[in-house]
Amino acid sequence: MKLLICVALVAAVVTAQTLTDEQKAKWKKWREECREETGVSSEGINQLRTNHFDNVDDKIKAQSLCFGRKSGLINESGDVLADQIKIKLKRVAVDDDEVDRIIKKCVVKKDTPEETAFQTFKCLREEKPKFSPV
């Protein structure tokens, strides 16, 4: 019986951390719309996708802001919506204390909305690699 419960829990966790086809389609749509808007290169997109945050240019930061807006995690004024991030973090976090710790660490206003968006997503991905804005 214990084995069955463990298998069910592992399956639930794996399922919860995997994007659905609908989520993947949204992600791709938003990525392409933002790419057209920002002019970010394919290499820049791959940097974000693979969590390589060195030598980041302004287009990559603009891409982060655009994607954050489309995903509903950043408003039109460029402010990060911590409550919305909490909802998505809870999908991959251990408990509410971990969510609150990550929010406190990652949601920090910077000099520009682009920098804020980029640094927020960078921090979220470093803290929780399975975090998804979709």
50-100: per-residue pLDDT in tens? 888 888 899 999 999 999 999 999 999 999 999 999 999 999 999 999 999
Distance from C-alpha of 78 to C-alpha of 134, rounded to nearest angstrom: 18
What's domain 20-127's superfamily in CATH?
A: Pheromone/general odorant binding protein domain (1.10.238.20)
Mean pLDDT along residues 40-47: 88
In this prediction, what percent of the chain has a pLDDT beyond 70?
Answer: 87
Domain-by-domain residue ranges, the chain?
20-127
Distance from C-alpha of 113 to C-alpha of 52, rounded to nearest angstrom: 20
Given a cut of 50, is residue 13 above it in pLDDT? no
Distance from C-alpha of 96 to C-alpha of 112, rounded to nearest angstrom: 29
Q: What is the pLDDT of residues 115-133, one digit of tens each?
A: 999 999 999 999 998 888 8
Would you say the pTM of this structure is higher than 0.85?
no
Complete DSSP assignment for 23-92: HHHHHHHHHHHHHHHH---HHHHHHHHTT--SS--HHHHHHHHHHHHHTTSB-TTS-B-HHHHHHHHTTT
Residue 17 pLDDT class (50, 70, 90 cuts): low
